Amino acid sequence: MKAIDQSTILLKNEDDTRALGLRIAEALEPGDVVALIGDLGTGKTALTKYIASGLGITEEINSPTFTIVKEYRSGRLPLYHFDVYRLGSGEELLDIGAEEMLDGDGACVIEWADIVADVLPEDALAIHLEYGENEGERIAEFL
């Protein structure tokens, strides 16, 4: 993946989140992993939606918490969208067959990635999201 040369970005509103998502999408190649880390409500699913839209995916992206992973194939690359909120460790991620998705034909976006950090590739793009000072603001930090 082409590097994003900024370490911290202030996302003032949803438009900024969209711009970041589109930029990430543009850089994605098969086998890339985007690891999203951040509390409830910090915009992980929202950012994923814009990454998906940047990939040209036309299906509705909704929370995969229930099934852990959903895959979308209508874009430039297949997208595997994980939400590992309910998992206890990286091993459990591999137990559900994630290995072939992590190293596969598409890109992976993983919400709550800190839980499964031990099995993610070293070159994963890790982004930490947190609340900004003002309402609606978020801070995205590239780790």
Partner 1 sequence: MKDGRFLTLGIETSCDETAASVVADGRFVMSNVISSQIDIHTAYGGVVPEIASRKHLERINDVIGKALEDACVSAKDIDLIGVTCGPGLVGALLIGVAAAKAMAYACDIPLVGVNHMHGHIAANYLEHKELEPPFMALIVSGGHTEIVNVPDYNKCEKLGGTRDDAAGEAFDKVARVIGLGYPGGPKIDRAAKEGDPDSIAFKRVYLEQGSLDFSFSGLKTQALNYLNQERQAGREIDVNNVAASFQEAVVEVIADKAVMAAERYGQKQIVMAGGVASNSRLRALMEEKAGRKGIKVLKPSPVLCTDNGAMIASAAYYAYRSGVKPDLELDAVPGLEF
Distance in angstroms (rounded) separating the CA atoms of residues 92 and 98: 9
Q: Which of 5, 7, 8, 40 binds partner 1 (CB under 8 A)?
A: 40
- Nearer residue to partner 1 within complex by CB, 30 or 88: 88
Cβ-based nearer residue to partner 1, 3 or 40 = 40
Q: Does 132 bind partner 1 (CB under 8 A)?
A: no
Q: For partner 1, which residue of 9, 25, 33, 46 counts as binding (CB under 8 A)?
A: 46
> How do strand 8-11 and strand 138-142 relate by DSSP bridges?
antiparallel
The residue among 5 and 135 lying less far from partner 1, judged by its C-beta, is 135
Minimum CB distance to partner 1 smaller for 5 or for 118: 118
**Distance of closest approach, residue 96 Cβ to partner 1, in angstroms:** 6
Q: Please report, as residue ranges, which positions from 57 to 96 form the binding site for partner 1 (by CB under 8 A).
A: 60, 62-63, 65-71, 85-88, 92, 95-96
Q: Please give the size of the binding site for partner 1, defined by CB under 8 A.
A: 25
Using left for φ > 0, alpha for ψ between -120 and 50, and beta otherwise, residue 82 falls in beta
Count Cβ neighbours within 10 Å for each residue of 56-75 and write b for 16 or more, e otherwise. ebeeebeebeeebbbebeeb
Residue in 90, 115, 112, 136 with CA at minimum distance from that of residue 39: 112
CA–CA dist 127, 136 (Å, integer): 18
Using CB under 8 A, list all residues that contact partner 1: 39-41, 45-46, 60, 62-63, 65-71, 85-88, 92, 95-97, 131, 135
